Amino acid sequence: MRLLYYSGCLNQSKTTGLTLPIKAIANSLGIELIEIPSICCGAFFTKNTIDMYGPVRVFLNARKLGSEIMTTCALCYNVLKQTNSLMKSDSTKRSEISSFLGEDYDGGVKVYHFLEILRDKIGFDKLSNIVKVDLKGLKVAPYYGCLLLRPYEEIRLDSPENPTIFEDFLTSISCEPVDFPYKTECCGSYLGALSLDSVIEHSHAIIRSALTSGAEAIVVACPLCHFNLDQMQERVMQKYEDIKSMPIFYFTQLLAIALNIEDKLLGLEQHYVDPRPWLRRIAGTH
């Protein structure tokens, strides 16, 4: 399988745990990964013409190499999917952007999230047969957040209210998915730049919900969710005494562990809550 891969700006950031293992994962799965230029997509979708130049340029670069692109980042995925939808439906906006960039783009490049590739092109049943490390039913809470599934008309990855793609992924790598009420709630998103207390409140609610539901860890697909749930835990625990520290994994990290990919490609050292002691309790893993 040949995949055009858009990493966005994460490969140059301090949240590389999402992107660092992807080449080794692709190799293990028999995927030929072709990276396209890592222009920032803007990280948040708006209909302002100037804000759309970045994501449309991503599509123009991708179109030179193929008709489909894949990303691991929920932020990038959301921006690209909504940009595509608008370029197809709004002829005035399309004309403005195409005129400025000097190329016409009609929304024809298809966007996949890597979870979608695993589900629809590889298959979770096949993935379970490739797994090399038994994670022994680790109880993991799948946290979708607000951008991986919404708005549904543009995204259409899974049900926005009762999704299963994350749960099915976790089952395929021998984890036990833990359902919890806050799995599709917002973590506070960019509110950390305006109201730190709001992010602390949101993060506390999500972590507490996962803990009381029996989870040992949370898994995410969004770098902003990871930051708010992991890096903010120190502040959360200072304010609230009803939670204990909880590891926050990117889904690519758990997949890499299941595929027995070497530690140095996981980016676990960047986490505030170090998941490595937690993993050492599992015989034969990291």
Number of domains in the chain: 2
Say if 232 falls within a structural domain: yes
- pLDDT, tens digit (0-9, with 9 covering 90-100), for 107-142: 999 999 999 999 999 999 999 999 999 998 999 999
pLDDT of residue 285 exceeding 70: no
- Final residue of a domain: which of 114, 131, 147? 114
- pLDDT, tens digit (0-9, with 9 covering 90-100), for 171-202: 999 999 999 999 999 998 766 556 789 899 99
Domain co-membership, 191 together with 266? yes
Three-state secondary structure call for residue 149:
coil
- Give percent of the chain above pLDDT 90: 84
- Can you tell me the distance from the alpha carbon of 198 to that of 6, in angstroms, rounded to the nearest whole number? 31
pLDDT of residue 284 exceeding 60: no
266-270, long-range: CB < 8 A, 24+ apart: 266/17, 266/20, 266/21, 267/16, 267/17, 267/18, 267/20, 267/21, 268/17, 270/14, 270/15, 270/16, 270/17
CATH number at residue 45: 1.20.1050.140
Which residue in 137, 117, 118, 134 sits closest to 126, CA to CA?
A: 118
- pLDDT band for 211, please (50, 70, 90 cuts): very high
Residue 275 domain boundaries = 123-280
- Final residue of a domain: which of 114, 131, 158? 114
Say if 230 falls within a structural domain: yes
- Final residue of a domain: which of 52, 82, 114? 114
**Quick one: angle between helices 74-89 and 91-101, nearest 10?**
110
Q: Which amino acid is at 158?
A: D
Residue 193 confidence (pLDDT): 55
